[in-house]
Amino acid sequence: MENHGPKPIRCKAAVCRAAGEPLAIEEIVVDPPKAHEVRIRIICTSLCHSDVTFWRMKDFPGIFPRIFGHEAFGVVESVGEHVEEFAAGDAVVPTFLGQCSECVDCRSARSNMCSKYRFAVRPGMPRDGTTRFSDGQGRPLHHFLGVSSFTEYTVVDVNHVVKVNPAMPPALACLLSCGVSTGVGAAWKQAKVEPGSSVAIFGLGAVGLAVAEGARICGASKIIGVDINPEKYELGKKFGMTHFINPKELGEKPVYQAIVEMTDGGADYCFECIGLAALMNDAFRSSRDGWGKTIILGVEMHGAPLCVSSHEILHGKSVIGSMYGGVKPKQDIPILADKYLNKELELDKFITHEVGLKDINEAFDLLLQGKSVRCTIWMDK
């Protein structure tokens, strides 16, 4: 019997062969999708800070050679067996967080953490742990966060793929794949920011700016940005920020004191978007007694524990951890796309640079120098 199914594809990818080394453009082979998988032709991808974090990591879960990238937009090229919800030609975004839509968590409005296919940083595909990539010599290349989008073609599990309205411009649909959804979701889904409330955001990278955008859409009246880069003052204003604090310019005064004074008792919602235990504590201390909520979005970069005063937490404050801003990918990404198409959510301002795949290392340089919010990486340029 002849096999008319999808065949392996040869294409270009940016491969990372060792921690912290520039990515190399290589010809790789991408296997056909297996059961419950789709193969996607990536149109564009962008660089997220999590890619950089793992790119630098020498020890497990840092593993090489690897194809990074997890924020992307593409078109389904072929589907494996038992795939019903996608067909070749569908406009899609892959997501690092899966949604099976069947488990107790996926069925609950309270959670976005699928318990059937739990989130983990694996070197292979989520179901069988194997890879769909090999290099020119036939040696395996590892996956990243179930997406691996720094390649012209990738294979992704159906639980990690979301159909988007084809009216969405590719570069903007790409943003909904990770960073913008995380930040907007944190304000909209996790904190449930109300009109007239006050918000403090620690760290104005892409996620922090997306929190500001989400808070703006929710109608917050005070949106305070905290960052040690003075250039973030003008940038933040574009995203709805009303006040800016540069901790370096406060002298002896702690950040939390400045925020408590500015908000007459503390911000209703504080968001930590950097990943430093000291800042998490600052955010907590900046939140209002009685109902202040602190949402943690940053992974602590040194693995340090979060320490808060038990005396202060008894004053009715809470700390909430947030994965992907509480966004349920298959349900909420289409809503965010509609918010863009209805001119509520402004996505264009997140894109500060663009490069072709061959110049992907420039995107790393721009992010490391703090010059870019999001750099779109086009596969065909």
- Is the domain spanning 191-321 CATH 3.40.50.720? The answer is yes
Closest CA to 316 of 372, 364, 371, 268: 268
Q: How far apart are CA 169 and CA 310, in angstroms?
A: 48
Residues 41 and 77 sit within 8 Å (Cβ to Cβ): yes
12 forms beta bridges with 27
Q: What is the per-residue pLDDT for 5?
A: 84
3-state class of 9 per DSSP? strand
pLDDT at 27 over 90: yes
Element housing 378 (H / E): strand 374-378
Closest CA to 340 of 224, 208, 181, 162: 181
Q: What is the per-residue pLDDT for 4?
A: 74
Q: What is the per-residue pLDDT for 364?
A: 98
Q: What is the per-residue pLDDT for 10?
A: 98
Instruction: Tell me the pLDDT tens digit for each residue of 255-301.
Output: 999 999 999 999 999 999 999 999 999 999 999 999 999 999 988 88
* pLDDT band with cut points at 50, 70 and 90 for residue 1: low
For the chain, what are the domain ranges?
191-321
Q: How far apart are CA 67 and CA 287, in angstroms?
A: 40
Task: Report the predicted TM-score, pTM, of the whole model to 2 decimal places.
Answer: 0.96
Q: What is the per-residue pLDDT for 298?
A: 87
3-state class of 302 per DSSP? coil
Neighbour-count burial of 4, counting CB atoms closer than 10 A to its CB (0-12 exposed, 13-18 middle, 19+ buried): exposed
pLDDT at 376 over 70: yes
Q: Are strands 37-46 and 374-378 parallel, antiparallel or unpaired?
A: antiparallel
Closest CA to 370 of 232, 183, 244, 200: 232
Instruction: Tell me the chain's radius of gyration from C-alpha atoms.
Output: 21
Residues 306 and 279 sit within 8 Å (Cβ to Cβ): no
Q: What is the per-residue pLDDT for 2?
A: 52
Instruction: Tell me the pLDDT tens digit for each residue of 39-92.
Output: 999 999 999 999 999 999 988 888 999 999 999 999 999 999 999 999 999 999
Percent of the chain with pLDDT over 70: 99
Residue 66 is given by DSSP the state B
Which amino acid, residue 203? G
Instruction: Tell me the pLDDT tens digit for each residue of 326-363.
Output: 999 999 999 999 999 999 999 999 999 999 999 999 99
Q: What is the per-residue pLDDT for 3?
A: 60
Token duo for residue 165: 């309205």
Percent of the chain with pLDDT over 90: 95
Phi, psi (degrees; rounded to nearest 5) at 229: -95, 110
